[in-house]
Amino acid sequence: MEYSERTKRVRIYLDLDTLIPVPSLLPHLIEILQRDDCPIIRERAAKALATYRDKGATEALIKALKEDGSELVRKIAADALGEHRNENTTVALIEALGRDDNKWAWEAIAEALYKHRSRKATLLLIEALENNPSERVRVVAVRAIDKRRGRRPTKALIKTLNEDESWLIRTLAAGALGDRWGRTATKALKKATRDDHPIVQAMAAKGLRNFWHGMPKVAA
């Protein structure tokens, strides 16, 4: 593969794992991530791009997450995008979570989404929880929403506990509601003690015990 002399030098530093990212290297790192034949070199380029808060770096990492044939490169791209927190990145991570079947990759995607804590990211995760057909996406969404407080996340958890077809998702929603004060959360948990699945019933009962013993951590 033909590179310019400067890009060749950058690649050598990546090969030796001695590269120090500086602004002038950005276009060379993007080119290497997109074109290099060696997945280890692409992985190191993606790791280096995590330090750049630049639209071009973000777009290159999203492209690698979507298209790179190496699960290791996709994993590192997801790790890097955990540091690039904006709406486009949140959307790309949610889409990739539903598409990527590699365990390393989607676990990294999940961890990246947990770091996206803006109001817009929360709304996107709620939308995924309520509407995405992939159970894996909804598992990550409910766990991420568990870390968010306020009426809208609580309302989404209650709706999920009442309506989601997956007993696993309902169980996670019950567990999240058990850590929240609030009349609506208590009402939903009481209803869930009559859920069709015994594990959901048990988690709801545990959440109610938290209320009775004054253990919920935060207000809903």
CATH, domain range 150-220? 1.25.10.10
For CA atoms 77, 83, 88, 93, the dihedral sign is positive
What's the token pair of residue 30? Answer: 């993007």
> In which residue are the tokens 């709304």 written?
123
Q: Which residues pair with 219 in a beta bridge?
A: 181
Sequence-distant contacts of 18-22: CB under 8 A, at least 24 apart: 19/44, 19/48, 21/48, 21/49, 21/51, 21/52
pLDDT of 214 above 70: no
Helix (H), strand (E) at residue 185: helix 183-192
- What pLDDT is stored for residue 215 in this prediction? 56
Q: Look over the chain and give the mean of its residue pLDDT values, rounded to a whole number.
A: 91
Tens digits of residue pLDDT in 44-76: 999 999 999 899 999 999 999 999 999 999 999
145-203 per-position pLDDT tens digit: 998 888 999 999 999 999 999 999 999 999 999 888 788 999 999 999 999 999 999 99
The whole-number pLDDT of residue 21 equals 87
- Does the structure show a pLDDT above 90 at 101? no
Would you state the pLDDT for residue 213? 64
Give pTM, 2 decimals. Answer: 0.80
**CB 54, CB 26: distance < 8 Å:** yes
Distance of CA 91 to the CA centre of its chain: 10
Distances (CA, A) of 15 to 21, 64, 73: 14, 19, 15
The answer for residues whose C-beta is within 8 angstroms of residue 176's C-beta and 6 or more apart is 142, 145, 146, 157
Q: What angle do CA 175, 147, 216 make, to 5 degrees?
A: 50
Structure tokens at 165: 């077809």
**Phi, psi (deg, nearest 5) at residue 20:** -110, 110
* Percentage above 90 pLDDT, the chain: 68
Look at residue 220 in the predicted model and tell me its pLDDT. 53
